[in-house]
Chains A and B, each alone.
Chain A
C-alpha cells in the first residue's frame, strides 16, 4: 500500500507515529509461557487480574468518598485498606520482578487492559 492514507494531520508526524507505534507494540505485554518460566508467567497473569480488581475497587471507593456519604471513620479505614493493598501489590511485583507495564495486557483492538 504505497498510497498516502493520511488525509489531514496537524501534529508532528514522527511524534504521532511514535505514539501509534507504542500502541501497537504488544511485545512487552504478551504473556510468554514456557516450561522454564511457568512460575513467572502464571504470576504475571494472576497479578494482572489482581491489579485490575484492585484498581476497580479503588475507583469505586473514590467514587463513594467523592459522593460524601462516608463517615470519617469509614474513610480512614478505607484509606488504610487501600494503602495496604497497594503496598502488598508492590511487594509482589518486586518479588516476581514485574513492572507496571508488565501487568498491563494489550487486548488488541480493545486497547490496553488498564
Chain B
C-alpha cells in the first residue's frame, strides 16, 4: 500500500475548509482523501495499491478532475499522476526537505490561473500565400561559370533551397504572430510560454499564467486577435491549475 499525492497546497485560513471539500470527493479506486501537513503546506493524498494502479485515460482524467476541484478553493501545486510515496512520514519528510521551494512556487502561482492558447492554420494555404520563388534562385560568388554546373545537383540544391526559404518564411510569420500576441497581452500581465510549429496545423501552442481577475480581459484580447487574423483559428482553454508553471525538483 502506498500514498498517491494529488497536489500540494497552501493551508487555508479556515482549518475546516479542506476537510469539508475532501469529504465530498473520492480518490483512485474509490479511496478516501486525507491530508499530510508540514508547517503551512499540505499534501492531499489517498491510499493506493501500487500493483493495481491503472494508468489509462479514465484514471488520469479522474485524477485531473480532483486537482481541478481543489483548485477552485485553494492555491495549489499540481503533482504529476502516479506520484506515490510509501508512508505519511515519508511525505512529511519530503514536504520538510522541499519546504522553501514549495513555498516559493506557491507564492508564484497564488491567485493565478493557467490558460492554453492554440493557434491553428491551413499551413498549405499559408505556404501558398508566401511570396517565395518556386525554384530557389542561387546566389554564388562566381556566377560566371554557370555553364559548367552539373544541372542535376544544381536543381536538387534549388529545390532544397526553395523548401528552406519557405520554411523560414513560415517561421518568420509565426514569430510575427507571437510578437503581436505578446504585445496584446501586456495589459494582462501574463507570463507566457510559446511552442512554435507543434504540428503542421498547430503553428502556436502557448501557455499563460495570469491573475484570476484578468480572465475576461484575456478572452477579449484573444477575440480581438481572431478578428485581426481571420485566416487563423484561435482556441483558448482554461482556467487550468498551474500545471506548466511549477518548477520544483523534489529532493
Residue B141 lies at the interface, judged by CB distance under 8 Å to chain A: yes
B149 A76 Cβ-Cβ under 8 A: yes
Q: Which of B68, B115, B156 is in CB contact (< 8 Å) with A79? A: B156
Report which A residues bind B (CB closer than 8 A): 1, 3, 5-11, 16, 19-20, 22-23, 58-59, 61-63, 65-66, 68-80, 82-83, 111-112
Number of B residues near A (Cβ < 8 Å) is 47
List, in ascending order, chain B residues with CB within 8 A of A61's CB.
160
| Given A19-B199, A72-B140, A8 and B235 contact (CB-CB distance below 8 Å) | yes
Pick from B85-93, B97-105, B219-227 the stretch touching chain A. Answer: B219-227
Query: Are A71 and B140 in contact (CB-based, < 8 A)?
Result: yes
B→A interface (CB under 8 Å): 61, 64-65, 68, 115, 118, 120, 136, 138-143, 145-146, 148-150, 152-154, 156-157, 160-161, 163-165, 195, 197-199, 201-202, 205, 219, 222-223, 226, 233-238, 240
Contact between A80 and B153, CB atoms less than 8 A apart: yes
Q: By DSSP majority rule, is chain A's interface helix, strand, loop, or mixed?
A: helix
Q: Report Cα–Cα, A73/B219, bound state, in Å.
A: 56
Residues of B within 8 A of A8 (CB): 219, 222-223, 226, 234-236
Whether A1 contacts B160 by the Cβ 8 Å rule is: no
B150 A76 Cβ-Cβ under 8 A: yes
Excluding A74-B140, A111-B198, 10 further A-B contacts by CB distance (< 8 Å) are A1-B61, A6-B235, A7-B219, A8-B223, A8-B236, A10-B233, A23-B199, A62-B163, A72-B146, A79-B160
Find B142's partner among A3, A65, A72 (CB 8 Å cutoff). A72
